[in-house]
């Protein structure tokens, strides 16, 4: 498994090895020992999966507050997404900056989004399915979000603002300047 450190410290892209032949391919999508070597000790407690039917569906930017913060290991099972992680750790030299990576069933890449980041994605193909492991259980009282199209974030999404397909919740998330996140950069 190849590990690429992204521009923001703590965010990494994992590229599993694929072994192919005339039948298709085989790949190890997760190995605890290799993952711990790359990011440190992490325990996953829940696996999530979502399907988005239409191109231009935006989900996020989401996170959970402490003490129920979640790290996420995201991969695409069908189709393709532009996956985005935004640094929301106060005091971080990269606060408000983002990493974006295309994840697809074809490239097999995965994105590790550590706690202290808001996470979201936009579908690039119809009927896109993603799966992600999380380090804490979903907690409605700790569930928060950040506005996907906040100009302060300067995310170049692959969909026009008026064409994005959003949930009612994601339409009214706060701007970065209004965020009540409790994450602090540890250095």
Q: Where are the domains of the chain?
A: 2-174
- Evaluate the CA torsion angle 114, 120, 124, 127 in order and state its sign: positive
pLDDT in tens, 1-54: 889 899 999 999 999 998 989 999 899 999 999 999 999 999 999 999 999 999
Active-site pick, 25, 119, 132, 185: 132
Active-site pick, 62, 98, 138, 142: 62
Considering the domain 2-174, what is its CATH architecture?
Sandwich (2.60)
132: annotated active-site residue: yes
pLDDT in tens, 111-163: 999 999 999 999 999 999 999 999 999 999 999 999 999 999 999 999 999 99
Q: From CA 76, how far away is CA 88, in angstroms rounded?
A: 24
What pTM does this model have? Answer: 0.95
């Amino acid at each position: 498994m190849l590990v690429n450190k992204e521009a923001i410290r703590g965010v990494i892209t994992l590229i599993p090895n694929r072994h192919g032949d005339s039948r298709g391919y085989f790949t190890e999508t997760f190995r605890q020992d290799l993952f711990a070597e790359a990011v440190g000790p992490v325990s996953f407690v829940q696996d999530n999966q979502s399907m988005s039917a239409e191109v231009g569906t935006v989900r996020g930017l989401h996170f959970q507050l402490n003490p129920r913060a979640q790290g996420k290991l995201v991969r695409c099972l069908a189709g393709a997404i532009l996956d985005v992680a935004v640094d929301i750790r106060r005091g971080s030299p990269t606060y408000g900056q983002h990493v974006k990576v295309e994840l697809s069933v074809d490239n097999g890449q995965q994105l590790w989004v550590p706690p202290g980041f808001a996470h979201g994605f936009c579908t690039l193909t119809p009927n896109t399915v993603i799966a992600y492991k999380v380090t804490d259980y979903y907690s409605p009282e700790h569930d928060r979000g950040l506005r996907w199209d906040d100009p302060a974030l300067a995310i170049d999404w692959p969909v026009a603002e008026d064409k994005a397909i959003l949930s009612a919740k994601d339409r009214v998330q706060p701007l970065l300047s209004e965020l009540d996140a409790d994450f602090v950069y540890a250095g």
